[in-house]
Amino acid sequence: MYARVNRPIRKVVAFATAAATAVALLMVLSASALANESGTFTAYKTCAGSDIRISPPNPGGYCLISGSSLKILEGASAYYTDAHVIRGILSSPVTIIANDEEGSTATGQCSYHLPTATTAGYGSCTFWRGTGVLEGFHAAYDVGPPLGGKRVYALTGTYWFDNNVNED
């Protein structure tokens, strides 16, 4: 009789072990999927030169993003949609238009302290919304001083994709 009572317990233990293993595996897989949706990136932003027809802060001004470690931003254009310089700080809403077939966009805001005789230029940008491939896109990055006296700037920051974007 002892052996018969023990069999159902073994089945319950085996089932519980299998269920716990499956839950643990799902947690690991979902954590790694989320990890693929965020990270750090570096890039360069060029705001003057032969490829730029209008430079910010001029109306319609834009910069080209190159050397991006985040593939979707490589070759993208960052449009400064309402740029103003007040007390040496350029500030503007910015729309990034990716160089993909969908024309994916990201919406954000940038501020940049223009260089002076005593301080290097520096700034930051924050993005909180995207469309197409950039849906759910968020980013925060720093903008460094002009490199080599040109209007080329190093970008360094973090990004993530919000997988819980509400669809209207």
Please report the sign of the dihedral spanned by the C-alpha atoms of residue 52, residue 86, residue 139, residue 119: positive
Q: What's the pLDDT at 24? A: 41
Mean of the per-residue pLDDT values for the chain?
82
pLDDT 10s digits, 11-20:
444 444 444 4
Give the integer Cα–Cα distance in Å for 39 and 67: 16
Q: Where are the domains of the chain?
A: 1-36, 39-161
Fold category of 39-161 in CATH: Porin (2.40.160)
Contact yes or no for 95/110 (Cβ under 8 A): no
Query: Residue-wise over 130-167: b if at least 16 C-beta within 10 A, else e?
Result: bbbbbbebbbebebbebeeeebbbbbebebebeeeeee
pLDDT 10s digits, 104-149:
999 999 999 999 999 999 999 999 999 999 999 999 999 999 998 7
Of 139 and 23, the structure prediction assigns the larger pLDDT to: 139
Of 168 and 124, the structure prediction assigns the larger pLDDT to: 124
